[in-house]
Amino acid sequence: MLPMNSNKHERQPVLYIPHGAGPCFFMDWNPADTWLGMGNFFKGIAATLPQQPKAIVLVSAHWLEPQFSVTGHARPELIYDYYGFPPHTYELTYPAPGQSQLAQQLADLLNADELPAQVDAHRGFDHGMFIPLKLMFPGADIPVIQLSLRADFDAQAHLDAGRALAGLRDDNVLIVGSGMSFHNMRAYGDTSFSAISDEFDEWLTAAVESPPPQREQLLSHWEQAPQARQCHPPRAEEHLIPLMVAAGAGYQSEGQKIYSEHIMETTISAFRFG
């Protein structure tokens, strides 16, 4: 585990994390420890960073737009975009502020790289943001900007978007991709998908841990990986695409797997760049 460091100029890493199933960390589950390991992983992340970030840019699987969009509201409301969970999970809070100046900076950086982007002054924070961050940074005192995915799911465009934002890391901004490395809703709990998820996870880990130029080539054609479409069905790859933004933002940095667990009969992993 990396020590905390007070050097304000030290570069932040980039993370790609799984965000679990809805509000899974804040309710009873059967078996009771299903999400315990992932929750503990989140609780330990802050201690691995060089310092507390001054801001977080989070790319959530749960926000799709025709072009890249960023949250511009000073106090975004929460979007409880999960269904059929206990009533108390719709009362969870995470009052992290937004930051309009940083939002505009993100849009400007993307537009400068010919990746059309806009600031959305009304969009709130979805559960791909507030559920993991409640465990990672429970004080909710770090400004957060959400970045949408582009609804065409173009892998190269999302790698390029991450690269456009990479310089923010040197300004103590933590960039986080929030999704799931395996996300086939019909497969969770199905033992026949255990080996399938393992095979894809092995490929994904090898791709992330490849030298940066090779890594980008592999990830930009991720659908050619073994079992790729069993793990992320066509037009439902939104939980993998945040990894492309993370890899793009970490394009000069070494990639590594930092968490992996067998949950609901499938292998789910997290990665770090830098």
Would the pLDDT of 83 be above 90? yes
3-state secondary structure of 256: strand
How many CB atoms within 10 Å of residue 190? 14
CA 211 to each of CA 21, 176, 208, 235: distance values in angstroms, whole numbers, following the listed order: 32, 21, 8, 28
What's the pLDDT at 55? 98
What's the pLDDT at 89? 98
Instruction: Specify the DSSP element, H or E, that contains 163.
Output: helix 155-165
Percent of the chain with pLDDT over 90: 96
How many CB atoms within 10 Å of residue 44? 14
* CA–CA dist 92, 189 (Å, integer): 27
Q: What is the DSSP string of 124-146?
A: -B-HHHHHHHHHHSTT--S-EEE
Would the pLDDT of 244 be above 70? yes
Is this prediction's pTM over 0.85? Answer: yes
